[in-house]
Structure formats: structure tokens, C-alpha cells
Structure 1
Amino acid sequence: MTGRILRIELRRSAALGVGLLLLVTGAALLLSSTQFFAGRWMQLAVLARSTLIMLLPLALAGGAWLGRRDARCRVNELFASTVRPRWQRVVPTASALAVTVVAAYVVVFLVAAGWVVPTAGYFPSATIVVAAVGVPALIAAGWLGMAAGRAVPRVITAPVLAVLGFVLVALVPEWITAPATGAEIGQFRQEPAGVLLLPTFTGLDDFQTIATRVSLLQALWLVSLAVTGLLLLGAVRRRAVAFAVLPALLGVAVALPLLPVGGARGAAVVDPVAVELVCDNDGPQVCVTRTHAALLPDVVGPARQALAMMAAKLPNAPVRAVQTQQVTYWARPDPDTAPARHSADTIVFDTPTINRVGRADLSGDYFLPALLEAAWRQECGDQSVRGDVYEARMVAAAWLTGRPPAPQPGWPPSEMAQLVGAYQALVNLPEVEQRRRMAAAREGALACRDDELVANVPTGRP
């Protein structure tokens, strides 16, 4: 009997419409951003969680619309006069809503996986756990919305819940993490552990994962919240309402003390397998990280071209190129730990831009100059780069190519003219002096003495 009622609810109630709305919204959000997760499973899981910023308010509103159905049809008194317990009547409807919202979330994830499977070289085991947290989150939102729609069966209830839900999951975390007045760029307030009670998660580096402990604690809290929503939906007396709140209180009492502080910074950990190197040894060695293994065929050619240019002009030139293994996003777990310096025979290059199908986007004339600039770059533990140091690297890279620095998007023509003049001043020196200066500049840069780099490479600055 219950199964037949569930099938009827799936066919005829608003639950199907709510699921379709979530399906369209989730697909639009994910499939319009494939370049941010193509070829990377963990990034897909995290972006699926980020879609909850929109899906949770919609699930709340959809549940509220479905919850006011009895009042809208004026059958509350009729159903109350029957001997059948209320919970037996609400379970099929609640189950139908749960099935549709979960199905929408899963289908969107599976469709988006089509952009990951062809080029993914690594499947982190935590991917399933991270993505699965969205399931109890959507069920909890739908059931709480149904309880609210039953308690306040007004037309305005659904849109009000949608707005409140969006404020809670999207804007409140932004307000908490916003830098204090007068703080430097990149300095954020220390988020309390309670921020992680919200299942949305954004801004994970390609080399990071969410700690499994955090995902399990979030799932525990969300399951308890879903139970509270279902009990509130079936509650009739005040004592039952008070009892319905207990699972949520118990869930937050268990999860909150165990969640780390710091929000994304506290929950993110470096995945040691993701940063392992995969190399091409058919010539000068070129390596990328395992999570970016699909990029190796694209970067081998430019990397070996850069190494050949360096070998032609630099003494003790580097002989291998390796992708950086350092986490660059602000959520790095140990921002005060200086990264290991690389040896003089190696250049370390940043991850190239990834296109919508998970391959390296080398369509612009930027990757080769960036590889050449890496000859004058070292991991010195400071993410910031002085303007004169950056300009010196550009001039040094141009010296390797034998051509003036190419125009940079967004750079004023006056600054580009200044760099071109600096390049001309360098190449007008005797060749022996040019090589001496470049060798001294590289030695200073590799020793993290940027002043020596700037002193030997003209930048056109007064």
C-alpha cells in the first residue's frame, strides 16, 4: 500500500516538479563551469557541493509548497478525523520529495562526470564521501520546508524560505569570512567551527581534499536535521514538537565540538597522492602532478622548448621541468610553512589553464614565457612578488627568446614601452656582459635574493 501511494505521489504531486527544478538548476550551474572541474574528480565533488547554495533554498521552498497542500485543498479537518496516525500519511509524501531531490542531485553529478572520466588520471577515494554529503542536506531542506509549509500554509511561505535559505547558506558565511575593516587583502577572520555545519563548500585547490572526518561529521549533523524535519512534519501535539527537535540538538552537540575551526582552511588537507609526479622521460624530463596527468602531453613540447632555449644561453642551465606541487589557494593548511626549494637543474612551472574538456589551454602566448620566467624563480615561502621582481623576470625571459616582451593584457602601454626599453638596454650590452648578468641574476633568484635579480636585469624603473 505504501509503495503504491509513493508511486502516486511521484506522478501527481509537486515533488516531481521540485525535483525537475533542482535538476535544471544544478545542471545549469555545473555544466556552465566545466573548466573548473574537467578531468578532476575532487573538484567535481566540491563544485557539486557548491551548487547547494542554490539547491538548498529551492528544496526548502519546494518542500514548503508541498507541505501546504492539505491546507490549500481544505482537507485538514477531514484527515484529522480519521484514526490513521498523521505520520503514516506524511511519510509517502516526504519520501517522494526525498527521492526526487536526491535523484536530481545524483543525475547532475553523473552528467557532469562526463567531463571528468575521459581525462581523469586519479580518483580520490574521498570523492564519493564529499559529494554524498549533499544527499542528507537536500533531504533535510525538503523536509524542514514541508514542516514549515504545514505550520504556516501561506502562499508567501515558500518564497520567504527561499530567500532566508539563500541568506543562510550563501551570505552568512561570506559575512563571517570577510576581512575586518582595514585588514590587508587575503587576511580573513578566523571562522568558527559552526560554519562547517553548512554543507556548501567552495574554493578547494586541485591538490587538496576535504578531510573525511569533516564530511562524516557534516553528514551526521544533516541526517539528524532531516530526522527533526520529518518528526516536525508528523507532529500533532506540542510534546511531539518538542521531542522532534531533540535529534537536531543531539547532532549538533556531537558534531560541533569535533569540527575544526577555520572553515575551508581547517577542513582542507593536502592529498599526498594528488601531488605525486607523473613524468615523460623521452627527452629532458617533464613532470606533472598525478591529478593533472592528462596535461602532460600538452606541456611536454613547450617545456622542452623552454629548456632548449635556456641551454643555449645560460651556464648550468636547468635540464628538467616540473609542475609545482604547492597549494596556491588561500585555504592552504600550513600557510606559515616554507615550501621546499627546488634544485638549480629544475624549473618549476605553475599549472596551465585547463579548458572545458580537461586539457591544457595553450591557445594564448603565455605558457612559454611563463616557463622561461621560471628560470629566475624559486620557492622562497612568500606568495607575494614585488613589481620590480616580476618585471625583471619578464625581461629575462624575453632575453632568452631574443624578442622584446609581448604586450600583456591589461597593462598600460607606457609600462610595456618601459619594459621594451629595458630589454633593448640589456641586449645593447656586450654579449659577454649579458650572459654574466643573467647568470648572476639567476644565482641570486635561486638563493631567494631578489635584490640581486633586480640589480642585474634592467626593468626601466628609475
Structure 2
Amino acid sequence: MTLAVARRGPRPPGRSVTRLVSLELRRSTMVWMLPVAAGLFWYNAFRESTALPPLWNLRAMAMQQSILLDFVPPVVGAAAWLGSREGRHRMGDLIAGTPRSGWTRRLVAWAACTCWAEAAYLGCVGVLYGITAGQASWGGPLWWPAAVGAAGIPAISALGFVVGVFLPHRFTVPLTILAVFFGLGFGLYPIHTTPSYWQVDPLWAPPNASVATFYPYRPDLPIAQVIFLIGLSAALLGVVGLPGAGRWPRRAAACLGAVGIASAVTSVLLVGTARPDGHGMTLIPALHDSADDRPVPYTPVCGRTAIRVCVHPAHAAYLPVVTDALGPVLGELTGVPGAPLAVEETAPVFRQRGDEMVVGGGGPRTVGGRPVVGLVVPDTLPGEHGMTTAEFTRAVASSAGLDLISTVVGRAPHPGPAQRAVTMALLTVAGVDGGRMAARPAETGLPSPGSPEFDAARRFAALPFSTRHAWLVAHAVALRAGHLTLRDLP
């Protein structure tokens, strides 16, 4: 009787690694942390982002500033737990004879944890962007803020995993979570001016409502942040492979770590050369694309008023509020010689003055012999950071009221007493806080309380609308030319 022995053929290359990955994916601790990640995302990033106006730039920036912090506890905790698994169970002697190196085993465990975390992150971003797509009236998704978070997930996972490998203790997980959470969050506090090396922090994003509205989104800073996060991940994973591995795995780990460190350092140096670009974004010369300097074409949305009011289509929902805010001023100027043809929203201009960013706009322009006043919509919109509609209305009136009245009254280069008095009176009757502006005569050019111009302004403001408007119609040209004095005012 002959005994037949079945022989197995050679195992396909990579089959054992595939089985190991499949096993780690099934038993990864990160699977049980997915509901925690989703809950933290909903409680913080999702609620904070959807509470803002439905603008792609606002919600994408808010998401970038908070979503990575939401993923720190579940991702870092799960990675640190998996990294410390062999050390906690004292399995060094047991697994010393396995055919795969320790670096391979650890990389597979880290990769499985990171894959689950990345899937959860992409799902959360997809939900937020899907809701925004159904609400936004203009523009499209900003992918670079999402890419920064996607590159940050492997980085925080690798950080937790490395700490777990080298400090396998029962307190490793909570202490690592606290350290990464507060280190990442407090990394924003040293950022006061541009340039700042701390802007490489993946939570940093330009916090203003005009980004990616009048000009394309500038990806210079996100590119540098992604390079930093990828380099950090590579450096940390290289460190894992240095101890207890064979000759070639150690060399590969050292090369990976060196490349990662070089990438991270390069990105930090690039961020150190950054400067504000004038449109609220950050320009890095080495990553600059001249195509981002060209304005985004758009068709303004205008109201049906005697003096036309137009806004950017991204802000179309706020056109009624802007029109109501400017209504009293426009009512005083309608029909007066020299009155503006229209009020159009323009791109804000950002200038850094010390540690503060000053926001301004372009002056009036002339179309067909009549002025068109530029309007800079306040950087904070209703519903953002607690801004109410009433506060937004006052901000719009204060921002554009003086420019509108100046087209009729005249102010440059040195307004006379009659011009200052009439300007003050029109601001008062239009509901603009002229008293607060008059308290700063050096900045606004308005008469200070107690002066003859201030008293004349009060008398002119007390006149009936018909009397005041008729006088303006008859004397606007002479007033604008500076030919009238306080005695000529009624």
C-alpha cells in the first residue's frame, strides 16, 4: 500500500502579509472607537460648522480648525493601545522566532488602525460637505482643508503608536491622548503675525469670510501643512523600525525616518517664508501659483432700488439685510446731484499693521460720470460667532454710510466746516452712530461735540425730510465744491 503525500505549491508572494493585514483589520481596537469618533465629530466640528452660514469657505475652515482634535482621543488612544500590545503582554520571547520582522508586524497593526480612522474621517467630511452642497448658493467644495485633516490622521495615529511601542504601560493611553490633544490645540496660541513657523499646525486656517470668494483659494499653506504631516508620519514610523529589527529593516527604517525628518523640516522652513497676500490668505513664494492672483469671475446679485445695491452671489442671502441697512442713507441721497449710481460689494484688502490685520476696501469708482461706491461686507456674517442681524446691519451702515454721503457732500482732501456738518447730520438721520464717529475726529474727519460744526449738524438733522432733501438738491454742487459755509446751512 502506497501512502500518497499531498504537497503544497509555493505560497504566492505577499499572501501572508495580506492575511496579516486582514487579521489586523478585523481585530483592530479602532473598530470599537468608530462610534466615539463619530460622536465627537457631531458634537464639536459638525455642530460648529453647520451653525455657520452655508458658505464653503466658512465651513471648510471651521472643520479644519476642529475636526482633527475630535479624532485625537479615539485615534491616538487606539494606536497607543495597539502599539503597547506586545510590551504589555510581555510577548517578546514568544514572537522572537516569527518569520516576519517586528517592524513589519507593527507597521501592519498601525496601518489597520489608520485605515479605519481614515475611513471614519472621510465619512464625516463627506456628510458635512454633502449637507453644505445642498445649502450653498455659490462656489464648490474646498478640498485642501479636507486634505490637511486626511494627512493628519496618519500622523496622530503614528504618534500614538510610537509612544505605545516605547512606553508600554497602563497609563500610556490616557497620558498620550492628553499630551497630543493639548499640544495640538495650544500650538495655535503662538501664532500672532505672519510669518510664523507655528502656522504649520494643521489646525491653522485663515479665519475670515472672504477667503475663496473674490479670489481662488490659495493652497500654499495647506500644501506645506500636508508635507509636514506626511514627513512627521514617515519619521515616526521609521523610529519604530530601528530597535529589534534585522539589518536591512533597520536600514530601511533609518532611510524612511531621515526622509520624513527632511520633509518636515523643509515644510517648516517654507512656512517661515509665508506672508499675507492681501486677500486674507497666506502666500508662500516657493509654492506660489500666479493663477491664484486672478479674480474669480462672477455676476453680482442686485436689488431693485433707486440707487442699486449689489453683492457677491455667495452673499446673495444677505442682500435684503444690506439693502435695509443702507436704505436710510440711500433715501437721503436719492435724486441729489452727484448721488452714486450703485453700491457694489468689493473684495476686502487685508493689511497687517503690527500684530493686527486691518481690513479695508477700494474707494469709489466712476461709471458713466457717476460714482459707484464699493462696499466691504463685514467679515463676520449673521449667525457667525454670535453676530446678530441687528449688529450686522449697524456694521454695514457704519462701513458704507460715510463713503456714500461723501460722494454728494465731498470730503477730499480737506473737508470744510459745512461739509463736515452736513455729513454728520446725514449720518445721524440715517441711524448711523455718528456720535461715536464724532468722538474720533482725527480718524473720521467729523466735527467733535461742542464745536460750531456739531451744533450746525444738529440743526440740519432736525429739519423735516422734505426741507432737508430740497436744500441738498439745490446746493449739493456748491457744497461738494467747498463754496458754502456754516451760515449757508438752514
CA distance in 2, matches of 1:341, 1:70: 67
2:302 matched residue in structure 1:
280
Could you list the per-position Cα deviations for residues 42-62 of structure 1 after superposition, in whole angstroms to 9, with x for gaps in the alignment? 333322221156246433343
> Highest CA radius of gyration, 1 or 2?
2
Cα deviation for residue 142 of structure 1 reads: 0.2
Show the 5 A alignment for 1:420-431: 426-428=460-462
Could you list the per-position Cα deviations for residues 281-316 of structure 1 after superposition, in whole angstroms to 9, with x for gaps in the alignment? 6555332124334444x4475368446513458553
Q: Which has the higher contact order (CA 8 A, sep 6+)?
A: 1
- Partner residue of 1:255 out of 264, 267, 274: 267
Tell me how large the CA RMSD over aligned residues is: 4.9
CA distance in 2, matches of 1:282, 1:433: 26
1:399 matched residue in structure 2:
429
Answer yes or no: is the 8 Å Cα contact 1:35–1:354 preserved in 2: no
| Residue 40 (str. 1) matches residue 55 (str. 2) | yes
Distance 1:96 1:53, change over 3 A: closer
Cα deviation for residue 29 of structure 1 reads: 1.9
Distance 1:349 1:275, change over 3 A: farther
Query: Tell me, which stretches of 5 or more residues in structure 2 are unaligned?
Result: 1-15, 284-291, 407-421, 437-448
Distance 1:428 1:135, change over 3 A: closer
Could you list the per-position Cα deviations for residues 184-208 of structure 1 after superposition, in whole angstroms to 9, with x for gaps in the alignment? xxxx4x543x323322213432222
- Partner residue of 2:93 out of 77, 85, 90: 77
Q: Quote the sequence identity (%).
A: 18
2:400 matched residue in structure 1:
374
CA distance in 2, matches of 1:145, 1:362: 42
- Paired residue secondary structure (2:94): helix
1:268 matched residue in structure 2:
282
| Residue 326 (str. 1) matches residue 348 (str. 2) | yes
Of 253-262 and 20-29, more deviation after overlay is shown by 253-262
Answer yes or no: is the 8 Å Cα contact 1:34–1:115 preserved in 2: no
- Partner residue of 1:62 out of 60, 78, 91: 78
Cα deviation for residue 39 of structure 1 reads: 2.5
Cα deviation for residue 146 of structure 1 reads: 0.7
The alignment's TM-score, normalised by the length of structure 1, stands at: 0.70
- Paired residue secondary structure (2:390): coil
Aligned residue type for 2:229:
L
Show the 5 A alignment for 1:11-160: 11-34=26-49, 37-52=52-67, 54-55=69-70, 57-58=72-73, 59-123=75-139, 127-160=142-175
Cα deviation for residue 150 of structure 1 reads: 1.1
- Paired residue secondary structure (1:206): coil
| Residue 195 (str. 1) matches residue 195 (str. 2) | no
1:182 matched residue in structure 2:
none
Aligned residue type for 1:116:
T
Cα deviation for residue 333 of structure 1 reads: 13
| Residue 9 (str. 1) matches residue 20 (str. 2) | no
2:364 matched residue in structure 1:
342
Cα deviation for residue 152 of structure 1 reads: 0.5
Aligned residue type for 1:219:
V
- Partner residue of 1:214 out of 202, 215, 221: 221
CA distance in 1, matches of 2:154, 2:106: 14
Cα deviation for residue 251 of structure 1 reads: 0.8
1:181 matched residue in structure 2:
none
- Paired residue secondary structure (2:133): coil
1:161 matched residue in structure 2:
176
CA distance in 2, matches of 1:248, 1:256: 12
Distance 1:395 1:29, change over 3 A: farther
Answer yes or no: is the 8 Å Cα contact 1:342–1:348 preserved in 2: yes
CA distance in 2, matches of 1:312, 1:268: 41
1:232 matched residue in structure 2:
239
Answer yes or no: is the 8 Å Cα contact 2:346–2:374 preserved in 1: yes
Answer yes or no: is the 8 Å Cα contact 1:46–1:131 preserved in 2: no
Distance 1:220 1:203, change over 3 A: closer
Answer yes or no: is the 8 Å Cα contact 2:346–2:376 preserved in 1: yes
Answer yes or no: is the 8 Å Cα contact 2:325–2:394 preserved in 1: yes
Cα deviation for residue 119 of structure 1 reads: 3.7
CA distance in 1, matches of 2:425, 2:211: 34
Distance 1:228 1:362, change over 3 A: closer
Show the 5 A alignment for 1:300-315: 302=324, 305-306=327-328, 309-312=331-334, 315=337
Answer yes or no: is the 8 Å Cα contact 1:195–1:263 preserved in 2: no
Could you list the per-position Cα deviations for residues 247-286 of structure 1 after superposition, in whole angstroms to 9, with x for gaps in the alignment? 2222134333433435777962687545855132655533
Could you list the per-position Cα deviations for residues 217-236 of structure 1 after superposition, in whole angstroms to 9, with x for gaps in the alignment? 32223222222233333443
2:377 matched residue in structure 1:
351
Answer yes or no: is the 8 Å Cα contact 1:57–1:161 preserved in 2: no
Cα deviation for residue 132 of structure 1 reads: 0.6
Q: How many residues align?
A: 412
Cα deviation for residue 399 of structure 1 reads: 1.1
Of 85-94 and 335-344, more deviation after overlay is shown by 335-344
Distance 1:355 1:365, change over 3 A: closer
Answer yes or no: is the 8 Å Cα contact 1:68–1:146 preserved in 2: yes
- Partner residue of 1:245 out of 249, 253, 257: 257
